[in-house]
Amino acid sequence: MWLELDYKLLRNWKAILITTIVVVLTYNFIAYLHPANMDWMSSGHFTWSNTLRFLIIDQILVELITAFVVFQLIRIYAERLKLFQLRLAPKSLLIYQLKFLPVILVSFFFFAPFTLTTRFLYNHFPNLDWNIYLESYFYSSSLYIVYLLPVFLYGFGIVNANLIVLYNRQLGKTQIDLREAKKPKLKNRLWASDEWGEMFLDVDKIFWIERTDRKSIAKTDSEKYRLKENITELEDKLDPNKFVRINRGTLVNLEFVQNYSFWENDKYVLRMNDEKKSEFVMSRERLQKIKHMFLEAD
């Protein structure tokens, strides 16, 4: 099975936000809740409000920049390499993942000037000491290592999330196509017969079809014809936007309905636009269905 690929998800702000939150919380959980690093909770500067502000502003909001840059690098990289199809097999999936390793490894050099400068300005404004910036917020091997885990989570996280979304979308489309394929094709003509012989009868000429004495009778403007199918089979073969079952044994063509009126006991009379103004009795529920179809048509 082949999966058709696109990278629209990498432009979606919800995907960027959700991925950033997940990565930030995961990374901080690993870094700050490790037993060796638990002394920060006992320091005199610890408060829950400071912790929340640190997570929301210094981490999540600032790291949105990282996620955005990494996502766009991956998207541009994938489109340049024309990675638009993927065979769903273990080896192909592994090779596909490894193809993104180079862009993920070099992404630090693209997002760092934006992410780290923003964090520096937030933490030190208005007392900006550029020596501190060069020492702690500029390119360095230590910063690269610090960001290595989050960048891997960002990169491979969104690549796999995109695969899951595309797979579910394609699977859903396939299931819809299969259901549509199983549906019987709507008929424009029906095999009919009268006293003179057999013929093809155009369904658009039918006013209604009625089941009488185990026979399905189609009424046109001037003639009646016998059909081979029963009412249920005919209901499946005819356009449901035109032919509606108004009771157990009758299908009517909505194009030839003239009007309706209340009869008795929550029943209604439906009048047809033929010479005799033929009438049929139907329930309120059937009437509501017809009214709804007329409103949709408008």
Q: pLDDT, tens digit, for every residue of 23-40? A: 999 888 877 665 555 555
Considering only CA atoms, which of 13, 105, 109 is closest in space to residue 64? 13
For 93, half-sphere exposure in the C-beta direction (CA atoms, 13 angstrom radius) is 13
- For residue 54, give the amino acid letter: F
Of the listed ranges 18-27, 34-43, 121-130, the least confidently predicted one is 34-43
Cβ 86 vs Cβ 92: under 8 Å:
yes
Region of 201 on the Ramachandran plot (φ > 0 left; ψ -120 to 50 alpha; else beta)? beta
Confidence bin at 264 (pLDDT 50/70/90): confident
Kindly state the percentage of the chain with pLDDT values over 70: 91
Residue 293, pLDDT above cutoff 60? yes
Q: In this structure, is the dihedral angle defined by the CA atoms of residues 198, 201, 206 and 212, taken in order, positive or negative? A: positive
How far is 229 from 214, CA to CA, in rounded Å?
10
Three-state DSSP class for residue 136: helix
Strand 224-227 to strand 267-272: parallel, antiparallel, or no bridges (unpaired)?
Answer: unpaired
d(CA 141, CA 156): 22
Token pair recorded at residue 100: 């993104």
pLDDT classification of 42: cutoffs 50, 70, 90: low
Judged against a pLDDT cut of 80, whether residue 251 lies above it is answered with yes
| 246, 286 Cβ separation under 8 angstroms | yes
185-198 residue pLDDT tens: 778 888 999 888 88
Q: What is the pLDDT of residues 199-242, one digit of tens each?
A: 899 999 999 999 988 899 999 988 899 999 999 989 888 988 88
Please state the domain extents for the chain: 2-182, 189-297
pLDDT for 222 equals 80
pLDDT at 176 (0 to 100): 76
pTM (predicted TM-score)? 0.62
What pLDDT was estimated at residue 196? Answer: 87
Structure tokens at 115: 């992410």
Q: Is the predicted pLDDT of residue 46 greater than 60, yes or no?
A: no
* Listed residue (156, 64, 151) closest to 115, CA to CA: 64
Choices 2.60.40.10, 3.40.50.2000, 2.60.120.560, 2.40.50.1020: CATH for 189-297: 2.40.50.1020
H helices of the chain, in order, are: 13-32, 48-53, 62-80, 90-99, 101-106, 108-124, 130-132, 141-182, 231-237, 284-297
Q: Decide: 67 and 59 in contact? Cβ < 8 Å.
A: no
Residue range 142-199, pLDDT digits in tens? 999 999 999 999 999 999 999 999 999 988 887 877 776 666 677 888 899 988 888 8
The DSSP 8-state label assigned to residue 245 in this structure reads E
Model confidence at 85, pLDDT cuts 50, 70, 90, reads very high
The pLDDT score that the predictor gives to residue 93 is 94
Cα dihedral 66/70/75/78 (nearest 10): 180
- What per-residue confidence (pLDDT) applies to 259? 87
pLDDT digits (tens, 9 = 90+) for 74-83: 999 999 999 9
Lowest mean per-residue pLDDT among 93-97, 99-103, 136-140, 266-270: 266-270
Q: Is 158:167 a contact under the CB 8 Å cutoff?
A: no
Give the residue-averaged pLDDT of 115-140. 91
* Residue 167, both tokens: 């797979």
The residue-averaged pLDDT of 126-141 equals 90
